[in-house]
A and B are shown apart, each in its own frame.
Chain A
């Protein structure tokens, strides 16, 4: 069982918006930056969001991150089929003295 909790799957229609939640605690999300990663099956993960809400160069502004207390959210607008992938949240956990990930959320664009 993962330290960070994500729903196993979400879905939405092309062009719509979807949000993926990530729930943690005060030892992780509540006091440390959150990152989000996208992984297309069979490929390495890619960084989408860092420091809660910053996008690396080349990541479109359709992807955004936000935090509230011990939870974080990834939002994706203007969905298209190319966004189908697994999405993971990650952060540092001061109780474990290590990095932790959510269990991952599979996005289906119907």
Chain B
């Protein structure tokens, strides 16, 4: 079964850091580009970051660029999101998401991990 399981969320004060992890199973992780997508409470989906198969190319939304860094370890079938200088507006559910080819479509979503940033 194809599965993505996020971990690492929690409560942190503004200005703090968190590292999210995503464990992938059931598919060849190294062959898929991966993403983080977040959803603030009661709001819509917001793309956060993407990383290509080998990790050479990384893309970040303007709202997190310079503060968040996406990375991956293909040997461990794992995706990461290092989040620094967190802001209250970073609060939400963070989803680890698999991408289909090069079409920007995202076909497998984890259940999400919740990040809460307090002031």
Chain A residues at the B interface, C-beta cutoff of 8 Å: 2, 32-33, 35, 37, 39, 44-47, 50-51, 56, 86, 88, 90-92, 96-104
Which of A91, A97, A103 is within 8 Å of B59, CB to CB? A97
State A44–B38 Cα separation when bound (angstroms): 11
Q: Does A88 lie within 8 Å of B109, measured CB to CB?
A: no
Identify which of A51, A96, A101 contacts B105 (C-beta below 8 A). Answer: A51
Instruction: Looking at the assembled complex, report how far the CB atom of A35 sits from the nearest CB atom of chain B, in whole angstroms.
Output: 4
Which residues of the other chain, A, contact B111 by a CB distance below 8 angstroms? Answer: 44
| Closest B residue, CB atoms, query A51 | B103
Say which residue of B44, B104, B112 sits within 8 Å of A92 (CB atoms).
Answer: B104
| Contact surface of B with A, Cβ cutoff 8 Å | 35, 37, 44-47, 50, 59-62, 95, 100, 103-107, 109-112
B77 to chain A, nearest CB (A): 19
Q: Please, how many angstroms separate the alpha-carbon atoms of A15 and B57 in the complex? A: 46
A99 touches B107 (CB 8 A): no
Chain B residues within 8 Å of A33, by CB: 103-105
Q: A44-B95, A45-B109, A101-B46 are in contact. List 19 more A-B contacts (CB 8 A).
A: A32-B104, A35-B104, A35-B105, A37-B106, A44-B109, A44-B110, A44-B112, A45-B37, A47-B106, A50-B105, A51-B103, A88-B44, A88-B45, A97-B59, A98-B61, A98-B62, A99-B35, A101-B44, A103-B44
